[in-house]
Amino acid sequence: MVGWVSLACRARLVMAVSNPGTRLVNRRLGAYFGIFASLFVAVFALALIFSQLGFEADVISKATLLAPVALYLALGAACATAKPEDFLFAGRRVPAVYTGAAMGLSALGGIGLVSGTGLLYLHGFDAWAILSGMTAGFVVMAVLFAPYVRKFGAPTMPSFFGRRLDSRFVRLATAAVFAVPLILLLIAELRLGIWVAREMTGFNERWVLAGLVGTIAGCTVLGGMRGRTWSATAQVIACLGGVVVAAGVAGIIMTNLPIAQMSYGPVLRGIGNQEAALAISEAQVAPLAFNLAGAGLAAPVGRMAEPFASMGVASFILTMLTMMAGIAAAPWLLVSCGATPGVHAARKSLSWAVLFAGLIMITASAMAVFFRDTVMTAIVGQSAGALPDWFNALAAKELARVTSNVPSLPISAIAVHRDAVLFALPAALDLPEILTNLLYAAALAAVLAATANTALALGLIVSEDVIGGLRWAPPSGVLRLSIGRLATLLALFLAAAAAQTLATDPLQLFLWAIGISASTAFPLAVMCIWEKRLTASAAGIGLLAGFGTAIAGIVIGTPLLDGMAQPALAALGLPVAFVVMIVLAQISGTPSRAAIEFVRDMRIPGGETIYDREMRLLRLKAKAESN
Amino acid sequence: MIERSERKPYWRHTKWQLVASLVPFLTALIVMPIYGVELNSNKFLGFPLGFFMVGHGMLLIALFTVSSFVNRQDAVDRWHGANEDA
């Protein structure tokens, strides 16, 4: 009997190794994450009980911050590994649903959730340019890039481009160029994370930053991609659970239905009727105008459901397309495809990414609408001396202000901090404070998922493509992992130092990062996969032209064209890079036979992962030489 | 494993699949916001239709596009013998 079982296990193992589509997936994953979800619920249920028993709110806030963080750290520690295939690709055993969930939350990040809700409250319809553009990015990623990046299976995107074009120059150039959006994104998420954790607990900024860096390091340095993927899955559960529960409770109060995402329509139309009664302007701004609120106090602009009050029609479409291109080819997201068991799973993971990111977005939109309705009914038309307590509490923390002393306040006189909208809703609806803590925990989970993903992507680019970029054969397993861990730590510390000193709006940094990604990674990825005749020189020059134009757009264009479509300014490099690559590909001769064979192999889903095969052959060659 | 003679037809078929997936999606992505004001005069599930389409609608269209792409591309892979199990 034992013999039969052993034989069956061996047969299954051989099948899994020979067929990448059926790699062994841990069947207990559901149970593990069920346990995490139960613990997360238990923490907040206990916090609710203790708050009803009269425990100090401050203690409960700190406990609800620290308990989930301890769980993420425990997961990160449990995923510690000394195997390169686990550190770089999570063993290529992550099912599509988990990859998609982690990718969706990493793309959205704290900025998509926290600033996105604020933008939806302040600008209504116009804010969808950013959020819907992100969803569209996943669609384009699934169709244009994900299957081919997975078939190659490189640990970083510069490795993919360098090997595809058989050029170490391209590998180093892409590593240098991609580091810029990665650093911007890392700083942006860390700045938002500091703000969220400080608002939640009142801890000193240095302690908060040290805690964030320690948590991210714990989730990435020990386990690499494995630790990052599994801790991000737990963060998806925390984030989705937090926003869905808070929105559900708010939905019951506002619409009598717990499915706030689908039931807030009548509330939105009610806001429209109030806006019409108050004669709020329906005017549209110039086609290229772009007046989204920065990090600070701002009043809503125009009518909530009507388009183009703060962003012109051309600006709206350009912003959406920029977001789409930037997310579709994002070097920090595409590498996650390498963790899936095969090409089919990589494609499928993008369906899950759309679902998870989209669910969070429409939940955020429901909360923005509920908050706007509360402001319209409780504050608009009142005098400055008769404001509700929750608004005065926000004003005391400098997160809200009334900018007029007229007896009947208009909506344009009620300024709220963009990033405080999400957390202000439970208090505005007179709900228990534990729901505010739940939303803080959700936002922190989103920040941690995005930051860990970006830090690991940057660390691996530095270790694989900069330090080890001059030769294809990687160093020995131990040295390779040590360099990877050190580079990730270094990237985190540098970004933390920059986040402490730079005072730029996180959303602005995020939009620049996406714009640079759209200007550089998108044209290069399209050309590398879909144009067989692309040469290394055409790709390298096109990449640098796109990057230069994007930087010029940001540095020169932003101050000159204040109020214009800023994300699109960073994406000006996209057409430039395409034109340069297409023209140079025509005149720079034919690529090598090896490069053409590589493209042919990459386009076929079946067969062994190219990177794994090349590493195996390199190992065999080294072994033969040593003998 | 795919036959050598099948490689070109497979790639042609894949390119058509790309066009069939992305062209309707991108058209909807660009055209729907332009008609936001006009669509808002109607309602769906209580939402102003323009607002619904640019938020929930785009999400549903994106989900449908990726899911149908995964399904159809899988069929293309199998038809030409390029799938992972072959």
Residue A564: pLDDT over 90: no
Cross-chain Cβ contact B48/A129 below 8 Å: no
Instruction: Kindly indicate the confidence band of residue A563, based on its pLDDT and cuts at 50, 70 and 90.
Output: low
Phi, then psi, of A416 in degrees rounded to 5 = -130, 145
Residue A330: pLDDT over 90: yes
Cross-chain Cβ contact B69/A142 below 8 Å: yes
* Four-residue CA torsion sign, A507, A129, A582, A147: positive
Cross-chain Cβ contact B51/A305 below 8 Å: yes
**How much is the pLDDT for A39?**
94
Pick from A225, A233, A235, A449: which is nearest to A338 by CA? A225
Put simply, the chain A residues between 255 and 294 with a CB less than 8 A from any chain B CB are 261-266, 268-269, 272
Scanning B35-53, the segments in alpha helix (DSSP H) are 36-40, 49-52
The 10s digit of each residue's pLDDT in A350-393 is 999 999 999 999 999 999 999 999 999 999 988 888 899 999 99
Q: Pick the residue of A143, A148, A274, A526 with the most B CBs within 10 A to test the interface with B by mutation.
A: A143
In whole angstroms, what is the distance from residue A472 CA to residue A468 CA? 8
Between A175 and A4, the higher pLDDT residue:
A175
Of A19, A313, A362, the CB nearest to B56: A362
**How much is the pLDDT for B86?**
65
Structure tokens at A310: 């703060």
**Integer CA distances (angstroms), A543 to A520, A590, A594, in order:** 6, 19, 22
CA of B79 vs chain A CAs: smallest distance (Å): 13
Residue A503: pLDDT over 60: yes
Residue A80: pLDDT over 50: yes
Of B34, B84, B86, the CB nearest to A343: B84
Pick the residue from chain A with its C-alpha nearest to B69.
A143
Q: Is A531 helix (H, G, I), strand (E, B) or coil?
A: coil
Task: Report CA dihedral (A438, A439, A441, A444) to the nearest 10 degrees.
Answer: 180
Average pLDDT over residues B1-21: 91
**How much is the pLDDT for A619?**
85
Percentage of residues in chain B with pLDDT exceeding 70? 99
Q: Is A512 helix (H, G, I), strand (E, B) or coil?
A: helix
Residue B31: pLDDT over 50: yes
Which of A533-542, A560-569, A609-618 is predicted with the least confidence, judged by mean pLDDT? A560-569
CA of B24 vs chain A CAs: smallest distance (Å): 12
**How much is the pLDDT for B4?**
84
Of A131, A269, A321, the CB nearest to B46: A269
Residue A148 forms contact with B (CB below 8 Å): no
Residue A18: pLDDT over 50: no
The 10s digit of each residue's pLDDT in A403-418 is 888 888 999 999 999 9
Total number of residues shown for chain B: 86
Residue A14: pLDDT over 70: no
Average pLDDT, chain A: 91
CB pairs under 8 A between A and B: 154
Instruction: Kindly indicate the confidence band of residue A558, based on its pLDDT and cuts at 50, 70 and 90.
Output: confident
Between A407 and A104, the higher pLDDT residue:
A104
Given a contact cutoff of 8 angstroms between Cβ atoms, the answer to whether A221 and A527 are in contact is no
Of B10, B33, B59, the CB nearest to A358: B59
**How much is the pLDDT for A385?**
85
Residue B37: pLDDT over 60: yes
Residue A7: pLDDT over 70: no
> What are the strands of the beta sheet with A400-402, ordered from one edge?
A297-298, A414-417, A400-402
Residue A173: pLDDT over 80: yes
Of A125, A320, A607, the CB nearest to B29: A320
Residue with tokens 């796109």: A546
Q: Which residues of A touch B68 (CB under 8 A)?
A: none
Pick the residue from chain A with its C-alpha nearest to B26.
A136
Residue A361 forms contact with B (CB below 8 Å): yes
Instruction: Kindly indicate the confidence band of residue A97, based on its pLDDT and cuts at 50, 70 and 90.
Output: very high
Put simply, the chain B residues between 5 and 44 with a CB less than 8 A from any chain A CB are 7, 10-11, 14, 18, 21-22, 25-26, 29-30, 33-34, 36-37, 40, 43-44
**How much is the pLDDT for A21?**
46
Residue A91 forms contact with B (CB below 8 Å): no
Cross-chain Cβ contact B58/A263 below 8 Å: no
Average pLDDT, chain B: 93
Between A324 and A624, the higher pLDDT residue:
A324
| CA–CA–CA angle A599, A603, A606 (5° rounding) | 125
The 10s digit of each residue's pLDDT in A132-152 is 999 999 999 999 999 999 999
The 10s digit of each residue's pLDDT in A258-317 is 999 999 999 999 999 999 999 888 888 888 888 888 888 999 988 999 999 999 999 999
Residue A21 forms contact with B (CB below 8 Å): yes
